[in-house]
Amino acid sequence: MQLRVGGKITGQEVNLSDAVDGTDDPNAAVPHSALLCRFAEAAVMSGDKSDLPNIRNQIVTAFDLAAVVDCAGIVAHYEKMDRIADSIGLPLDAPMRIMAGDLREELNLSRFASAENTAGLGIGMRLLGSFLRRIAPMLMKFVSRKGKN
């Protein structure tokens, strides 16, 4: 959700499926997202890890050595949080469900087993989410300006 709002604030078109599924498009909002997705999958999936050193080297080439550490930290954090939420059956909270409703559909997040933990939205909440998503960039700009004062 932050990537989408951030793109709107900066005027940059962001294809969120690139961030989830990866792309090799050099003009994508998330550079080298296909490589980053391969790293995330190789790092957390069980089984053969033989390609992981090669993927790490590709990240160093595409970015730098510090990027490997950053990527590993991000992957580990989200994997940990996801496992905790899944193990206790934690659903998305109402504000996140409302704001991310269209995003969940756009990215087909229901394909993941953990999606069963979160109920769908009724028409009223979908309409509210649509309205809030339209004004979110304006609110974020306002808050950002107030925070600088």
Q: Is the dihedral of CA 136, 137, 138, 141 positive or negative?
A: positive
Q: What is the dihedral of CA 103, 100, 32, 138, to 10 degrees?
A: 110
| Phi, then psi, of 14 in degrees rounded to 5 | -120, 120
Contact by Cβ (8 Å): 99, 136: yes
pLDDT at 71: 93
Q: What is the dihedral of CA 16, 18, 21, 54, to 10 degrees?
A: -140
Question: pLDDT per residue over 127-138, tens digit each?
Answer: 888 888 888 888
- CA-to-CA distance for 103 and 109, rounded, in angstroms? 8
pLDDT at 2: 60
Question: pLDDT per residue over 5-61, tens digit each?
Answer: 666 777 777 777 777 777 777 777 778 889 998 998 898 887 778 899 999 999 999
For the chain, the domains span 1-12+91-149, 32-90
